[in-house]
Chains A and B, each alone.
Chain A
Amino acid sequence: MDNKVEDSTQEDVKGIAGPEVVSRARWKYLDNFLTRPGPFTDPEAFDPGEAAIAGLERNKILVIGAGGLGCEILKNLALSGFKDIHVIDMDTIDVSNLNRQFLFRAADVGSYKAEVAAKFVEKRVKGVKITPYCGKIQDKDEDYYMQFGMIVCGLDSIEARRWINATLVGMVDETNPDSMKPLIDGGTEGFKGQARVVLPSMTSCIECQLDMHAPRAAVPLCTLATIPRQPQHCIEWAHIIAWEEHRKDDTLDTDDPEHITWLYQRALSRAKEFNIEGVTYSMTQGVVKNIIPAIASTNAIVAASCCNEAFKIATNTNPFLGYPEKDNYMMYTGDDSVYTYTFEHQKKDDCPVCGSGNIARPLTINPNTTLQDFIDGLAERPEAQLKNPAIRTGEKSLWMQLASLQEQLRPNLDKKMTELVEEGEELTITDKSFPTQFKYKVVFSK
């Protein structure tokens, strides 16, 4: 590769923003849309020509995640005319990423995704600047997020989505329209996926939609310990119980083949003991790492849908998803023919993140459950999904996450919920993973 040639090109393209006008021959196709109005363009919002082009190039955009969706998103945004793209991802490249994360090669295994992806797209699409950050989104503060015009998420973690959502909603200052950063989020599983647009504080947010992505119910511990029936039960037993018993001092690393092999063998012998068939190495890996099947095609669909919305929002070349009181959510199902369902998810008044006031959500509790059961169940309840909750009533703390304070509260764990709270009482729950207070109103079932 001739570096000199590359450098001079880079300068030429950068010149676009300056007084020097370079040829837009490369953007011939894109310019048909940036310079021509269409039957659906809003004449108040869309100013075809120079203004539309400049608006797009000024839009600094953040991509969260450089995995299956992230690779596609970076490519798509670069070829949609965005010039200043940032990307955050803390992960390094694994060999199992190569079947879909097309910016990575076998030689890149072990390197940071954000760095490799940024470099690759910068090299391929001349004139785009991509700034990687290899770390967590939680490392960054509001000042950092405030610099962007928009955020596109391609994440596989619901926790990270909730965090960025809460952060962006929290940043909205009604007197400053620039503080409202559109959030575009995609997710996939197998042949299915979804793309959605959130205008923080204005339209339904990720937290409003939380119950649409209910976690899979965990198998009760007593089933694992005493009455396994499925191969997965034997694997979970090896994972949760046998490892604790035999290898307490080793931290389980689900990427370590020796560890997986150990779990697999334990699971296999337990399955044999109970005449259960079907434990395999691949299933062991799947259960322990909670692997979700993923393919390039679905990532392509969902990422492109997200970027299509980002492009429309940045340019007003056509109406976009997420406009208040319009559709903001598209579901895609590709396993049985093709089916898309595009609709408006309604903002919820009692949303703990974007709700109008501090309205407590009703939370139905079985009166016989203990505080311990209640805490354990909170991670799975579709409307809560909190793994490390601290819980207090108006008067007292029922449970805290700080180890030094837990000692004193431990007796609460075995008490029934009816002994601790009254019907209609408000519970405030916090979780260190989220900058949000969750308020619930206790409703005892039956």
Chain B
Amino acid sequence: MADLPPPVQGPTAKEKKYDRQLRLWGANGQIALENAHILLLNSGPGVVGIETLKNLVLPGIGNFTIQDSSIVSDADLGVNFFLEEEHLGGYRAELACNLLKELNPDVDGHFITEPIETWLLNPDALRPYTLILATAPLRPEILARLSDHASAASVPLFHIHSVGFYSHFSVHLPPAYPIVDTHPDLETTQDLRLLQPWPELVHFAQEKTANIDSMAPEDHGHIPYIALLVHFLEEWKKSHAGKVPENYKEKTEFRTMVSKAARTNNPEGGEENFDEAVAAVLKSLNPPQPSSAVKEVFKTKECLLVREDSPSFWVIANAIGLFYTKYNVLPVPGSVPDMKARSADYIQLQNVYKSKARKDLAEVVESVRFLERNANRTTVIDEKDIEAFCKNAAHIKLVRGRPFLVVLPSEKIKWGDRAKTIAQSLTFPDSLIPLYIAFLAWDKFTATHEKDGLGGAPHVPGTSDPDTDATKLTGIAFTIADDLVKEAGASIDKDEYAAIKTQIGEFANELVRAGGAELHNIGALTGGMVSQEVIKVITEQYVPVDNTCVFDGIRSKSMVINV
């Protein structure tokens, strides 16, 4: 026991409580959550917003605030889990806030019961919040005001519908929303540079495959497959004018060549390391070209023109862009998959990759420092951030956030540069664009109908006269569809268009059937989806929806639409 390390510090109480999520977004993601203050503008039955908050309070967001001026009614008790019988007649915002706070003592909750119309008159009302959730029905001028704020303050804004069996949400992200830590699936995306090995890797392969034919069986069966592939690629090049296998046919031939080199005169009838080499041929022998989306990032104006106040993402992106221009490859990420190999050989191979990655990183760091000096930047970017960027350079993502559609009572919807694509995908089988159109119509209906002309609560379709409302809503939806097709200049086959209109009509009818009701299940499901998106947006990890998602709870299908 003498050689055991000293006693360990076990996990802290917080690490224990959050263990299952820290394994996903790590300490950095958790800190980002704890610094967030989320505002929920709640309206309608109000379930989807509260369920979203539940899923954010549990993992420990810092603060939340609920704005809601409604009073708890009997109907709330049948659909909202965070209200109790004795709350009847009280403020929904206050009581739900209290019950949500019980879920996690680390979270601070606040509430506002002032009606949104007057509360928003204060120009600073929205200032404290880092992310805003707004649930329908909301008056269009309020939604427009929120959208302006989201643009001006670069605050992510979500607009959410949960109506009966259907739901929708749209997110308005800042115009440049870059993500480094996208969590790609490493098994399918590892970049091993086998087609462009650097001298140290070639040397490693030569060392491990020297005298490969006369090697003892034990040794032969433990050559790391990466060394095998580099070795056989050299062999291949000898008989192919110095070229590596380029197309599918050549790769298959190459694979056969590797496969034939395995020894089969052993009890197992084969060698695992050769099996691994064979399996890796098709997925690993690709030129290490970055995707066009990544190359696009290097060409954006934010990347090309680094300023004193550019976010560090652009400074690093510029430096990596320089690296790419110079070498025509990205920095080596530096990780190696596990493979059949002896411990020492594998560690040696790992070090070959790690030291190349360090070398590439050093070059990028140097460029970053140069850019920092040039742009007179006062803060120095942490080398850890540059390293993380280099490691995941092939998988970075840039989302171009933009305002979602706000339906105004007396204006046509303007689809702009998205009109064509959306009109085209109207006709795709299983397209849920007809459902999205029905939701837009629902907003239009709500914007043009008021409850008893009181000027307060909007009147949603289907509350009292479903038949009349269904006819109206369907009519509005048809007009939206016609306008879309017109704006796109699309020509859709007559029968096909009739079928699409039938679908729109069905979706509209089902929305009217709800009469503005939320079903708890759909509110909970949509709250789960939205909270996943909120977590992705706050932690700047994984890839968020860009920018609209609709869910059909009858067929259990969803669709993401870039509006």
Please list the residues of chain A having a beta carbon within 8 angstroms of any beta carbon in chain B.
Answer: 5-6, 9, 23, 25-30, 32-33, 36-40, 72, 75-76, 79-81, 95-96, 98-100, 102, 105-106, 124-126, 190-191, 195, 227-230, 257, 261, 264-266, 268-269, 274-276, 281-282, 285-286, 291-305, 307-309, 311-312, 318-319, 321, 327, 330, 334-340, 342, 366-368, 446
For A261, the chain B residues whose CB sits under 8 A away are: 7-8, 10
| Contact between B519 and A29, CB atoms less than 8 A apart | yes
Could you mark each residue 332-355 of chain B with 1 if its beta carbon is under 8 Å from any beta carbon of chain A, else 0?
000000110111101100000000
Q: Which of B8, B521, B549 contacts A281 (CB 8 A)?
A: B8
CA A304 – CA B525 in complex, angstroms? 5
| Contact between A300 and B525, CB atoms less than 8 A apart | yes
| Contact between B521 and A304, CB atoms less than 8 A apart | yes
Among B117-125, B248-256, B277-285, B526-534, the one that faces the other chain is B526-534
Among B310-318, B378-386, B540-548, the one that faces the other chain is B540-548
CA A265 – CA B3 in complex, angstroms? 10
| Contact between B521 and A125, CB atoms less than 8 A apart | no
Shortest beta-carbon distance from A34 to chain B in Å:
11
Listed by A's residue number, 23 A-B pairs whose Cβ atoms lie within 8 Å are: A6-B85, A28-B75, A39-B509, A40-B506, A99-B60, A126-B85, A191-B532, A229-B347, A264-B8, A282-B11, A282-B19, A285-B11, A295-B55, A296-B55, A296-B58, A300-B55, A305-B521, A319-B554, A321-B556, A327-B555, A334-B542, A338-B529, A338-B549
| Contact between B543 and A336, CB atoms less than 8 A apart | yes
Q: Which of B13, B15, B525 contacts A301 (CB 8 A)?
A: B525
CA A296 – CA B19 in complex, angstroms? 13
Residue of A nearest to B15 (CB): A282
Q: When A99-B20, A100-B58, A229-B338 are in contact, do A297 and B556 touch as well, CB less than 8 Å?
A: no
| Contact between B24 and A99, CB atoms less than 8 A apart | no
CA A99 – CA B23 in complex, angstroms? 13
Q: When A125-B81, A229-B343, A318-B554 are in contact, do A337 and B545 touch as well, CB less than 8 Å?
A: yes
Q: Which of A32, A75, A125, A337 contacts B164 (CB 8 A)?
A: A32
Please list the residues of chain B having a beta carbon within 8 angstroms of any beta carbon in chain A.
Answer: 3-5, 7-8, 10-11, 13, 15-24, 45, 51, 54-55, 58-60, 73-75, 77-81, 84-86, 102-105, 164-165, 182-183, 222, 267-269, 338-339, 341-344, 346-347, 462, 466, 505-506, 509-510, 513-515, 517-522, 524-525, 527-529, 531-533, 535, 542-546, 549, 553-558, 560
For A339, the chain B residues whose CB sits under 8 A away are: 558, 560
Q: Which of B3, B20, B79, B513 contacts A30 (CB 8 A)?
A: B79
| Contact between B338 and A295, CB atoms less than 8 A apart | no
| Contact between A33 and B7, CB atoms less than 8 A apart | no
Residue of A nearest to B60 (CB): A99
| Contact between B527 and A300, CB atoms less than 8 A apart | yes
For B542, the chain A residues whose CB sits under 8 A away are: 191, 334-336
CA A37 – CA B182 in complex, angstroms? 44
Q: Which of A9, A30, A295, A301 contacts B517 (CB 8 A)?
A: A30
CA A81 – CA B58 in complex, angstroms? 26
Shortest beta-carbon distance from B85 to chain A in Å:
6
CA A296 – CA B60 in complex, angstroms? 11
CA A81 – CA B542 in complex, angstroms? 36
Residue of A nearest to B24 (CB): A293
For B20, the chain A residues whose CB sits under 8 A away are: 96, 99-100, 291-295
| Contact between B531 and A318, CB atoms less than 8 A apart | no
Shortest beta-carbon distance from B347 to chain A in Å:
5
Q: When A29-B518, A99-B58, A307-B521 are in contact, do A296 and B531 touch as well, CB less than 8 Å?
A: yes
Q: Which of B21, B513, B531, B556 contacts A36 (CB 8 A)?
A: B513
For B341, the chain A residues whose CB sits under 8 A away are: 227, 229
For B546, the chain A residues whose CB sits under 8 A away are: 337
For B555, the chain A residues whose CB sits under 8 A away are: 319, 327, 342
For A321, the chain B residues whose CB sits under 8 A away are: 556
For B59, the chain A residues whose CB sits under 8 A away are: 99-100, 295-296
Residue of B nearest to A25 (CB): B74
For A36, the chain B residues whose CB sits under 8 A away are: 466, 513, 515
Q: Which of A96, A296, A311 contacts B54 (CB 8 A)?
A: A296
Q: When A40-B554, A368-B269 are in contact, do A26 and B77 touch as well, CB less than 8 Å?
A: yes
| Contact between B77 and A257, CB atoms less than 8 A apart | no
Q: When A38-B509, A298-B532, A338-B545 are in contact, do A23 and B55 touch as well, CB less than 8 Å?
A: no
CA A291 – CA B22 in complex, angstroms? 12
| Contact between A337 and B543, CB atoms less than 8 A apart | yes
CA A363 – CA B130 in complex, angstroms? 56
Which residue of A195, A301, A309, A366 has the most chain B CB atoms within 10 A of its CB atom? A301
Shortest beta-carbon distance from A322 to chain B in Å:
10
CA A305 – CA B527 in complex, angstroms? 12
| Contact between B81 and A265, CB atoms less than 8 A apart | no
CA A39 – CA B103 in complex, angstroms? 40
Residue of A nearest to B81 (CB): A75
CA A309 – CA B517 in complex, angstroms? 18
Residue of B nearest to A294 (CB): B20
For A281, the chain B residues whose CB sits under 8 A away are: 8, 10-11
Residue of A nearest to B534 (CB): A297
For A30, the chain B residues whose CB sits under 8 A away are: 78-79, 517, 519
Other than A29-B518, A285-B19, A303-B524, give 6 A-B pairs with Cβ distance below 8 A. Answer: A40-B506, A75-B520, A76-B521, A99-B60, A295-B535, A335-B542
Residue of A nearest to B541 (CB): A335
CA A237 – CA B346 in complex, angstroms? 18
For A302, the chain B residues whose CB sits under 8 A away are: 528
Residue of A nearest to B549 (CB): A338
| Contact between B75 and A29, CB atoms less than 8 A apart | yes
Residue of B nearest to A340 (CB): B558
The 3 closest A-B pairs by CB, nearest first: A300-B528, A29-B517, A304-B525
Shortest beta-carbon distance from A262 to chain B in Å:
9
Shortest beta-carbon distance from B458 to chain A in Å:
17
| Contact between B544 and A293, CB atoms less than 8 A apart | no
| Contact between B525 and A308, CB atoms less than 8 A apart | yes
CA A318 – CA B165 in complex, angstroms? 9
Q: When A268-B5, A330-B556, A340-B558 are in contact, do A297 and B347 touch as well, CB less than 8 Å?
A: no
For B347, the chain A residues whose CB sits under 8 A away are: 229, 274-276
CA A27 – CA B73 in complex, angstroms? 11
Which residue of B4, B73, B75, B506 has the most chain A CB atoms within 10 A of its CB atom? B75
Q: When A95-B16, A96-B17 are in contact, do A38 and B510 touch as well, CB less than 8 Å?
A: yes
Q: Which of A33, A275, A295, A319 contacts B514 (CB 8 A)?
A: A33
Q: Which of A75, A229, A301 contacts B532 (CB 8 A)?
A: A301
Residue of A nearest to B530 (CB): A297
Q: Which of A32, A81, A297, A299 contacts B535 (CB 8 A)?
A: A297
For B24, the chain A residues whose CB sits under 8 A away are: 190-191, 293, 295
Q: Which of B15, B517, B521, B549 contacts A80 (CB 8 A)?
A: B521
Shortest beta-carbon distance from A48 to chain B in Å:
10
Residue of A nearest to B165 (CB): A318
CA A25 – CA B183 in complex, angstroms? 47
CA A309 – CA B554 in complex, angstroms? 9
Q: Which of A25, A33, A337, A340 contacts B513 (CB 8 A)?
A: A33
CA A96 – CA B10 in complex, angstroms? 14
| Contact between B78 and A27, CB atoms less than 8 A apart | yes
Q: Which of B79, B182, B466 contacts A29 (CB 8 A)?
A: B79
| Contact between B556 and A32, CB atoms less than 8 A apart | no
Shortest beta-carbon distance from A226 to chain B in Å:
8
| Contact between A95 and B513, CB atoms less than 8 A apart | no
| Contact between B513 and A32, CB atoms less than 8 A apart | yes
| Contact between A265 and B338, CB atoms less than 8 A apart | no
Shortest beta-carbon distance from A230 to chain B in Å:
5
CA A335 – CA B527 in complex, angstroms? 16
CA A281 – CA B5 in complex, angstroms? 13
For A294, the chain B residues whose CB sits under 8 A away are: 20-21
Q: When A32-B513, A191-B542, A338-B545 are in contact, do A96 and B519 touch as well, CB less than 8 Å?
A: no
For A274, the chain B residues whose CB sits under 8 A away are: 343-344, 347
Residue of B nearest to A292 (CB): B20
CA A96 – CA B546 in complex, angstroms? 33
